[in-house]
Chains A and B, each alone.
Chain A
């Protein structure tokens, strides 16, 4: 991993500074690039160190270092275009599919470097699942939508095992009661909220360790949103969850830790209640008090 020329940053002071990052809260300007709060935790599930992302020449993520705690929900907030989706997509290498996108730095899942040479993205993405902003069920039946992942990964030896996986996943996603009589109908025929829970069920079905969610409720009405939020809280028992959201209420309802991004920089990370009540960085404070964003 090399430091790209022309970013105007000194590569060495970064990790050292984050620990006392609260200092940055006193001023703005160049210091905005140092992360305030507590970006690192004990025994994390994922470790990201000095992650940079470029789209061609555009530097979209700048030196982001953060830990993602086990069986916790980490929410990422920030004004739109600040790189939340971009960073999220680094975590399961979805950025590989974008032409011209380059990622540097290290991201580890437990002790495995996910950008390591020997790593195969196919099992990796089964370990780190993803739910997208717009519900995107496949043009297949409800059953086949959930069965898709287990089938391609060969998780079921026969039809009854597959049915069991599908049922468990749908139950965990809180969708079973609503769809058990219409498993063979197209998944695209469900309501928006049901579609999104179907996408969650689909992600759960391959038994991931981490689930990434990119604004999963932004296309949904308040009731469907509430259901998904409850669901996220339940899922925390089994999975580690990273959720991008533009709603600060949502972040405070569902997450234990919150990360604030600004123009590709990770400004502040901390326990959710602290970030929202006593932000250490002026930019975070401006954002959560609604002064911009």
Chain B
């Protein structure tokens, strides 16, 4: 029985559990002469039955699938002759691979070694047993649960409370899952970054002014060790983000003000979606727009003005990134500006304030926490943006704040470190994790600062 059929069977069982539970519950109170009152509505009894019928079985199925390979591997290995078992770790895993290929019937790895062939057969047998056992366990679990719940069904049973508690558990599990995934990602970055910091001191990484992550290919090569100073890379990121915010914040904020305060409803219904369309353009499109249109344009303008502009410049990347971010700023600001109660505006107009005075002194201050939040969100977005800078900002890690020069950013470096053939334990690869960690910390700090500002603001005005 394949897993799918098994799952479908469990689902069908649950549904019938629901129907049976509901039917029996209503029968209990509607039976002639029955004067009892059900604790919960009948469908709760059905839900309870379905729940017990389906959920434990599903959990067992998931656990089974998770643990089965490890257990089978272990059993197969322990059955191998001692001389194979005493092989070193990596050789042993090769053998295991052979066995698995053989068991899966991959033709080109047909092994002549009888030991391996035997082990493969063993593996196949074990799997069959496991599948069979799983089907039996799950189906019986389902059926037993169904019967047991039906046995205990009684009018006093607090089915509603059980179901509510179960729903709560599901919600808790989902949110925990999300949190644990995040924690897991952070921990893995942290762990890999630690390995990097064993090869390159933290201080050198944080304060080093030179970034050229070439490592010696062979350990005995001399003079080819890389430099892992992250300062130029971070300065590049900051420069590009700053240019982007310089474009996005004023334009975004002002268009939000126009749309929410001045524009008539006809303009608003057209302009708002169009503006938000900007956010829907894939960043790669912005990227080649930046690289092929904006960057050459800036270079030509620069040459005309007698300036030395490189063909990939921080300015080009920043400008285009700024355009990309406008909708973030404007649509978030628009929402918070609209959320400012009309009372506030009326109060101001009632005192004879003009529209722009009302906006400047009443609406914007009242909406400021939201606006600040939107801007900080946009900054994290700018810092993490990759495609545009990969295409338009360049690769050379110049330590400069001149927007006309090529710079590189953290995200670009992470990309270049990880594309192509990699050894997963060379400092060059691990450097990507260190950069990612730093990027993460910076964004985290930004968010903390944002929350702090917003909270202080609220305290002041609420």
Give A residues with C-beta under 8 Å from B.
92, 94, 97, 99, 121-126, 129-132, 134, 136-140, 148-149, 152-153, 186, 188-189, 199, 202-203, 206
Q: Known contacts A99-B264, A188-B461: does B351 contact A206 (CB below 8 Å)? A: yes
Q: Do A140 and B461 touch (CB < 8 A)?
A: yes
Q: How far is the CA of A188 from the CA of B366 in the complex (A)?
A: 12
Q: How far is the CA of A123 from the CA of B349 in the complex (A)?
A: 11
Binary per-residue interface labels of chain B (437-462) against chain A in the complex, 1 for a CB within 8 Å, 0 otherwise: 00000000000000000000000111
Give the top 4 A-B pairs by smallest Cβ distance, nearest first. A130-B350, A139-B461, A125-B352, A126-B352
Q: Do B346 and A97 touch (CB < 8 A)?
A: yes
Q: Do A202 and B351 touch (CB < 8 A)?
A: yes
Q: Do A136 and B461 touch (CB < 8 A)?
A: no
Among listed B14-22, B238-246, B353-361, interface-contacting one? B353-361
Interface residues of B, dominant DSSP: helix
Q: Known contacts A138-B344, A186-B460, A186-B462: does B350 contact A132 (CB below 8 Å)? A: yes
A126-B352, A132-B350, A152-B354 are known contacts; what are 14 more A-B pairs with Cβ within 8 Å? A122-B353, A125-B349, A125-B352, A130-B351, A131-B350, A132-B347, A136-B341, A139-B365, A139-B366, A139-B462, A186-B461, A199-B347, A202-B347, A206-B352
The residue on A at minimum CB distance from B368 is: A139
Q: Do B352 and A124 touch (CB < 8 A)?
A: yes
Interface residues of B in 122-177 (CB under 8 A from A): none
Q: Do B346 and A152 touch (CB < 8 A)?
A: no
Kindly state whether residue B89 has any CB partner on chain A within 8 Å.
no
Kindly state whether residue B101 has any CB partner on chain A within 8 Å.
no
Q: Which of B343, B351, B361, B461 contacts A125 (CB 8 A)?
A: B351
Q: Known contacts A122-B354, A186-B461: does B349 contact A138 (CB below 8 Å)? A: no
The residue on A at minimum CB distance from B343 is: A136
A166 vs chain B, min Cβ distance (A): 14
Q: Do A122 and B350 touch (CB < 8 A)?
A: no
Q: How far is the CA of A129 from the CA of B349 in the complex (A)?
A: 10
Kindly state whether residue B215 has any CB partner on chain A within 8 Å.
no
Q: Which of under 10, 10 to 19, 20 to 34, or 35 or more describes the interface residues of B? A: 20 to 34
Q: Do A136 and B344 touch (CB < 8 A)?
A: yes
Q: Do B366 and A138 touch (CB < 8 A)?
A: yes
Q: Do B351 and A99 touch (CB < 8 A)?
A: no
Contacts of A121 on B, CB cut-off 8 Å? Answer: 352
Contacts of B350 on A, CB cut-off 8 Å? Answer: 92, 94, 125, 129-132, 203
User: Can you spell out 16 A-B residue pairs with CB atoms less than 8 angstroms apart?
Assistant: A97-B345, A97-B349, A129-B350, A130-B351, A137-B347, A138-B344, A138-B347, A138-B361, A139-B462, A140-B365, A148-B361, A149-B353, A186-B460, A186-B461, A186-B462, A188-B461
A173 vs chain B, min Cβ distance (A): 14
Q: How far is the CA of A130 from the CA of B350 in the complex (A)?
A: 5
